[in-house]
Amino acid sequence: MTDPAPASARLTLDPAFRVAPVSRRTFGAFVEHLGRCVYTGIFEPGHRGADADGLRTDVIELVRELGVSTVRYPGGNFVSGYRWEDGVGPVRNRPTRLDLAWHSTEPNTFGLDEFIRWTRKAGVEPMMAVNLGTRGVQEAVDLLEYCNLPSGTRLSDLRVTNGAAQPHGIRMWCLGNEMDGPWQIGHKTAEEYGRLAAETARAMRMIDPELELVACGSSGSGMPTFGQWEATVLEHAYDLVDYVSCHAYYQEQNGDLAGFLASAVNMENFIDDVVATADHVRAKRRAGKRINISFDEWNVWYMNQPASQTPRGGDWPVAPRLLEDHYNLADAVVVGSLLITLLRHSDRVTAASLAQLVNVIAPIMTEPGGGAWRQTTFHPFAQASRYATGDVLRVEPTSPTYPTAEYGDVPTLHAVATHDEHTAATTVFAVNRSLDTPLSLSMDTRALGSVRVAEAYQLTAQDPYVRNTADEPDRVFPRANSSVSGDRDGVAVLLPPMSWNVIRLEQAT
């Protein structure tokens, strides 16, 4: 059988078609006390690569290579039953607790101050979540006092005594986690949560009016309360918060690979709907400011872990292997497409967190006592974080479409570009969603003047299900795309079927 002939696709690169500046916070991630994300993930005292604080330096190097900007902590579902005080002070005095969210035992040998030390070493900004499940206004304010006041109060002095002379200076705070979900410890109605979020935000702002606060939106656009939840919460908290959160996870279902590759359509609709809801509340309140989106959990997640691997009953393990998804090429292409969506909405999605960072539905994997390696999904994230600089551009792509059961006809090309006026570099990020047909992509570059292709990469494979492993960590890796050609008016490149692509243009001298 011969390979299908390429189909044609086009886009236009024009710095005048500006969406918004690239927000570095788009490239955030998430560390939860869940499975092996913390214990034997980022923290493993006694590991040959651990530093004096027990932090794995091999993981820190990969986090830096991944280009992570912010890291949300300590949960997730975990935070809704967490007492932050358990994780500070001398380790020998810290209590062992049951973690009800993940049916695990929490040893508390890693806590807030260790996390902040880790963020400094990894070069990332901490983003803290407060417990609004089993706790409330007072504990949130206490945590803020401990973290951000320089000294001279009971809790800020306690931090100093615990070894952190300088305040942690945490700017971004999540007011709880997924409070709309019946699985959440302390789950609330929108009315109950909206009031609590508003009162917590009001009290926190009495200490520091400049904080950036995130109200919980829906834990998925499929939630029965979606839409109404955001509206009600924002009716209560509009003036007091800066962001509303979105969470979304995707997976291939029932062998529908073509539909899975179109997952970003769901994310696009989700963002549009939340923006519309927030702006509806804005209009009703005649408010000046706009609420932006913190897409602080997103990823591919196969939610079918066998029950035998999920702790239950009297079994409360420490750091069990939970949610250790092993990603393939198709998953990486979907992650790339979701990143394109976040960038395309940079005018309203100004923060995001890939969930999660290490071992738990993560781009970085470790073995206890062993090495650390990159999953397939590491690569689109690292490349987008590295090459997306300056402003996001609207590129108006045109391409053939293909039919999907869930989303109808979907364009095979999904693309966005960034343009950096300081370096004059323009980078195109493009996914070909077709299972079998290459795309011949023509890019109109006339508005950029004279350009040349500086770099072009493709992440693809014949087998959509090929994975990296600890033994073969570079099976799926971005390779140079040598199909690039160009003339005065444009650049053309061949995008293989099921591929993530980066094309970087520089000013020709």
Half-sphere exposure of 338 (CA within 13 A, CB side): 32
Run of H or E including 173:
strand 172-175
Q: Which of positions 53-112 make contact with ligand AHR (CB under 6 A)?
A: 75-77
Catalytic residue chosen out of the listed positions 32, 44, 139, 178? 178
Residue with smaller CB distance to ligand AHR, 159 or 247:
247
State the nearest-atom distance from the C-beta of 368 to ligand AHR, in Å: 21
| Cβ-Cβ contacts under 8 Å for 154 (sequence gap 6 or more) | none
Residue with smaller CB distance to ligand AHR, 77 or 399:
77
Q: Contact with ligand AHR (CB under 6 A): which of 14, 113, 114, 178?
A: 178
Angle at 123 between CA 219 and CA 429, to 5 degrees: 60
| Cβ-Cβ contacts under 8 Å for 89 (sequence gap 6 or more) | 158, 162
Q: Which of 131, 236, 228, 140 is nearest to 186 (CA)?
A: 131
Residue 61 is among the residues annotated as catalytic for this protein: no
Count of C-beta atoms within a 10 Å radius of residue 176:
27
Residue with smaller CB distance to ligand AHR, 356 or 432:
356
State the nearest-atom distance from the C-beta of 330 to ligand AHR, in Å: 20
Residue 186 binds ligand AHR (CB under 6 A): no
| DSSP reduced 3-state for 119 | helix
Residue with smaller CB distance to ligand AHR, 221 or 501:
221
Q: Contact with ligand AHR (CB under 6 A): which of 6, 13, 28, 32?
A: 32
| Residue nearest ligand AHR, CB atom distance | 76
| DSSP reduced 3-state for 503 | strand
Count of C-beta atoms within a 10 Å radius of residue 435:
14
**Angle at which helices 57-66 and 378-387 pack, to 10 degrees?**
60
State the nearest-atom distance from the C-beta of 258 to ligand AHR, in Å: 26
Site residue total, ligand AHR (CB under 6 A): 10
Count of C-beta atoms within a 10 Å radius of residue 58:
18
State the nearest-atom distance from the C-beta of 360 to ligand AHR, in Å: 7
Residue 297 binds ligand AHR (CB under 6 A): yes
State the nearest-atom distance from the C-beta of 44 to ligand AHR, in Å: 21
Between CA 474 and CA 471 the distance in angstroms is 9
Residue with smaller CB distance to ligand AHR, 216 or 453:
216
Residue 297 is among the residues annotated as catalytic for this protein: yes
Which positions lie near ligand AHR, rule CB under 6 A? 32, 75-77, 177-178, 219, 297, 355-356
Which of the residues are catalytic? 178, 297
